[in-house]
Amino acid sequence: MARLLLLLPTTTYRTQAFVDAATKLGVDLVCASERPSTLEASAPGNLITLDFADPAGAAETVARFAGRRPIDAVVAVDDLTTVVAAAVAGRLGLRANPVAAASAARNKDEMRRRLQAAGVPAPRFRRVALTENPTRVAREVAYPCVLKPLALSASRGVIRADDPDAFVAAFRRIAAILARDDVAVSGDLAAALLVEEFVPGREVALEGLLTAGGLQTLALFDKPDPLDGPFFEETIYVTPSRLRAETQARIAEVTLRACAALGLTEGPIHAELRVNDAGPWVIEVAARSIGGLCSRTLRFGTGMTLEELILRHALGWKIDSFDRERRAAGVMMIPIPRAGRLVAVRGQNAAEAVAGVEEIAITAHAGQDLLPLPEGWQYLGFIFARGEGPEEVEQALRSAHARLAFEIA
Ligand code: ADP
């Protein structure tokens, strides 16, 4: 029986989807997390505690484990474990990205430098240390610009500034976010931020799978809500894209060039691009699959999930079809409208009754403290819809959302 190691950050939404995929494939699953599990003593062969902040140390721990129980594949779940997965795979000789490539994809400054060096279209940028004087830097940059932390995700801490006052406010706000207890970034990655030219245009997300440096597009999602700031809340994703076939082909081509520039060669990627009259621009490429519960929108071949496809790839198993089902599909990540404590969610039945709506997963629970962007990173939940075309799916998502009411104290 093949044995697969899954690296699970404590904050992930995706444990169940990956465990289900492993069960379906009949592999022996070993789960690694950062906090020692109370179950570890009772299932020592299937649970490991690793320090995800120490990739080399984690790789040694896994190598010792693998000496007793050989491991055939390693898979990172979400951004926080991609570098550790690369280190473990490198140590055990398994299929994965080089550590330097996974690290570059986790560090927005390094990513920008590599894209620039390779001539991949991406915004102009400047790294600014948190010790610099923001008032002085604010006089030197062009507007509008976007300020962002080097290594957070889900748009956390990403803020547009249209003038020097907004720049200074955004700079201080990001510095405060980086100092929060619930931010798992430290060292150099927490000592600076990035300032980028604001790229106008429509945004898309490309979900892909790399094999030996070649890119298979799994889905291209349109993001029909305008993302103009000052914060960049992700809401609706709909596939297939309504962009012209030629534009979609350019997006795939630029994404592949970006992967090559970063040195990514194996496994899932999630790329965000903006498209305007000058063509596609890379906002970012992450060496992981789509976040949250959004992968539920995707089904391949005769019903294969994205997680199953990722595990098969890591194991080097055959994948019969990369074709997404014919119907259009979409998800709405329900944004947190304001800070407070969630009291209740109403209207779920009415929202679920909207034609085309398949499921509403409310992931926040009553009593939970909610924090919107830019400080927060979570969603209230997810709405899923399917239909004949993308317009219909988008409309179903909007109607369902309009029927939901969130009572926040
Ligand atoms: P994260 O990794 O946290 O998602 P990103 O760098 O991808 O951070 O930025 C999040 C979102 O902010 C993007 O999806 C995009 O909508 C917006 N954004 C980021 N950088 C730019 C930019 N230079 N120009 C325009 N929009 C941007």
pLDDT at 319 > cutoff 90: yes
pLDDT at 42 > cutoff 80: no
Fold annotation for 124-197 = Dna Ligase; domain 1 (3.30.1490)
Six-digit token string for 380: 């209230």
Cα–Cα distance for residue pair 331/104, rounded to 1 Å: 29
CATH class of 3-103: alpha beta
Query: Which residues are registered as beta bridge partners of 247?
Result: none
According to DSSP, residue 324 is labeled: B
Alpha carbon 163 to its chain centroid, in Å, reads 29
Phi, psi of 146 (to 5 degrees): -125, 130
Q: Answer for the pair 155, 234: CB distance below 8 angstroms, yes or no.
A: yes
Please determine, looking at this structure, whether the domain spanning 328-409 carries the CATH number 3.30.470.20.
Answer: yes
Edge-to-edge, what's the strand order for the sheet holding 267-276?
279-286, 267-276, 202-211, 214-223, 236-239, 328-334, 381-387, 357-362
Section 78-83 average pLDDT: 93
Phi, psi of 215 (to 5 degrees): -110, 125
Reported as a single tens digit per residue, the pLDDT across 258-305 is 999 999 999 999 999 999 999 999 999 999 999 999 999 999 998 999
CA of 404 to the centre of ligand 1 (A): 27
CA of 150 to the centre of ligand 1 (A): 11
> Model pTM?
0.96
Burial class of 216 by CB neighbour count within 10 A (0 to 12, 13 to 18, 19+): middle
Reported as a single tens digit per residue, the pLDDT across 86-112 is 999 999 999 999 999 999 999 999 999
Burial class of 19 by CB neighbour count within 10 A (0 to 12, 13 to 18, 19+): middle
pLDDT at 356 > cutoff 80: yes
Neighbouring CB atoms inside 10 A of 17's CB total 20
pLDDT at 307 > cutoff 90: yes
Cα–Cα distance for residue pair 167/11, rounded to 1 Å: 30
Cα–Cα distance for residue pair 248/54, rounded to 1 Å: 39
Nearest of 28, 22, 33 to residue 2 by alpha carbon: 28
pLDDT value of residue 184: 81
For a ligand 1 pocket test, name from 147, 155, 228 the mutation site with the most ligand atoms within 8 angstroms of its C-beta: 155
What is the number of alpha carbons within 13 Å of residue 250 lying toward its C-beta?
Answer: 18
Nearest of 134, 151, 148, 147 to residue 186 by alpha carbon: 151
- Domain locations in the chain as residue ranges: 3-103, 124-197, 328-409
**Among the atoms of ligand 1, which is closest to the Cα of residue 201?**
25
pLDDT value of residue 40: 65
Instruction: Please name the residues in contact with 398: beta carbons below 8 A apart, sequence gap of 6 or more.
Output: 236, 332
Instruction: Please name the residues in contact with 388: beta carbons below 8 A apart, sequence gap of 6 or more.
Output: 327, 328
**Among the atoms of ligand 1, which is closest to the Cα of residue 157?**
3
pLDDT value of residue 401: 98
Cα–Cα distance for residue pair 77/307, rounded to 1 Å: 10
Q: How confident is the model at residue 10 (pLDDT cuts 50, 70, 90)?
A: confident
Q: Answer for the pair 223, 236: CB distance below 8 angstroms, yes or no.
A: yes
pLDDT value of residue 39: 63
Q: Which amino acid is at 4?
A: L
pLDDT at 211 > cutoff 90: yes
Kindly provide the b/e burial profile for residues 273-288, where b requires at least 16 CB atoms within 10 angstroms of the residue's own CB.
Answer: bbbeeeebbbbbbbbb
pLDDT at 386 > cutoff 80: yes
The two domains 3-103 and 328-409 share their CATH topology (first three levels equal): no
CA of 151 to the centre of ligand 1 (A): 12
Reported as a single tens digit per residue, the pLDDT across 124-183 is 999 999 999 999 999 999 999 999 999 999 999 999 999 999 999 999 999 999 999 988
Q: How confident is the model at residue 403 (pLDDT cuts 50, 70, 90)?
A: very high
Cis ω for the linkage preceding 374 (within 30 of 0): yes
Section 340-344 average pLDDT: 97
CA of 217 to the centre of ligand 1 (A): 21
Q: Answer for the pair 401, 353: CB distance below 8 angstroms, yes or no.
A: no
Section 353-380 average pLDDT: 96
Q: Share the mean pLDDT of the chain.
A: 96
Helix, strand, or coil (residue 393): helix
CA of 83 to the centre of ligand 1 (A): 21
Ligand 1, residues at Cβ distance < 6 Å: 123, 146, 148, 152-156, 158, 196-199, 203, 227, 232, 272, 283-284
